[in-house]
Amino acid sequence: MRPSPQRLPALLLGTALLATALGVGSLASAGDSGEAPAAAVTHTGHAMAVSTQGSGDDPDGDGYIPAVPQVTGVTPSTNTPPPRYFHEFQANCSVTHTAADDPIVYPGQPGKSHDHTFMGNTSTDAGSTTSSLYGGTTTCKAPADASGYWMPSLYKGDRKILPVGPQTIYYKAGVTDYTSVRPFPKGLRFVVGDPMQSADQFRHHRGFVEGWECGDSYFNTDIPTSCPDRADVQLNIRFQAPSCWDGTYLDTPDHKSHMAYPVVKPGTNDNVCPADHPVALPMIEFKMAFPVNGDMSQVHLASGRGYSFHYDFFNAWEERTLKAMVDHCIVGGLQCDARGYDQTHPEAGAALDTDYRLP
């Protein structure tokens, strides 16, 4: 069963209208979506379209990948549990490789995308599927996290700049009722942000945290032209993902419409999931650090200017381990490391053992 025209209006209005109707954090934004066999809106080497090619998890190529089972009968939680400043854990994952591949946007089409820097699963490529990623080798500290994480590669001139060491990928509560957050369904995937967005759209995107940072410079929509030339200075960016799921699809043609950002409950300051995306999932936040400083005038992304930053997530966690981390750290109101340990609450213990595995 496919969404009604009212649910995905942008998909039915055509790519030309979609390109002009992009709103900040809009669920109708196709972003880095797959190339259509018909007309597509191009920009900086990208294609804006609403159709996909049959491949892997989506053999009919219609762009909809149903969840099995679907999650129904959920009402967005409006509860306000005891306040806890933190409800999160980290997935610390290192860079594995780079490639002009994107198994979400261009499945089965190697070399089709701009260059991406991949983290987590070491096998991620254009042909990756849920089954090929699940149980695979990973650079994440927790061996059970075989998910694929990727973003446009960063360059200084023609030289690729890769993050060094484990990068911080937060899993947080995006809603006020952190006790209502449940694990990602196996095979869920989505794109965060939009390579087509303007600087103003990037600045006002729901996922915007502090923009591009270096030294004492914050909230930059574009990559600064210079940063302090010191060993302790790197270029940083933080960006948050939507955390409310429709419970129906693991992916949709624009790779976004099955997900939504929380909304503010009228008359309160509480963040709740909207009624059409009632399932609260962890909110992913990329916190990336690139070892580059000094003269930054030639620094750019493979997708274009700094405000074209976006990233992709393809869930392939082992289910029991992810549930243990979500329950212990997010639902439990803790600030956990990649083991599920909170140094300020040692009495709570850890979700994983010293090898980052379920005990």
CA of 48: how far to CAs of 36, 43, 140, 194, 206, in Å? 8, 8, 32, 10, 21
Kindly report the number of other CB atoms within 10 A of residue 85's CB atom.
7
Q: Say whether 202 sits in a helix, a strand or coil.
A: helix
Q: Residue 51 pLDDT more than 80?
A: no
pLDDT band at 55 (very low <50, low <70, confident <90, very high): confident
Mean pLDDT score of the chain, rounded to an integer? 88
- Write out pLDDT tens, residues 94-152: 999 999 999 999 999 999 999 999 999 999 999 999 999 999 999 999 999 999 999 99
Q: Where are the domains of the chain?
A: 62-348
Maximum separation of any 2 CA atoms in the chain, in Å:
59
- Write out pLDDT tens, residues 58-84: 989 999 999 999 999 999 999 999 999
What pLDDT is attached to residue 45?
Answer: 36
| pTM, to two decimals | 0.86
Q: What is the DSSP string of 80-106?
A: -PSP-S--EEEEEE-EEEEES--TTTS
Q: Which of 41-55, 113-127, 154-168, 284-298 has the lowest mean pLDDT?
A: 41-55
CA of 221: how far to CAs of 127, 199, 292, in Å? 33, 6, 17
- Write out pLDDT tens, residues 161-213: 999 999 999 999 999 999 999 999 999 999 999 999 999 999 999 999 999 99
Output the CA angle 221-222-226, nearest 5 degrees: 125
What pLDDT is attached to residue 2?
Answer: 52
Which residues pair with residue 301 across a beta bridge? 154, 304
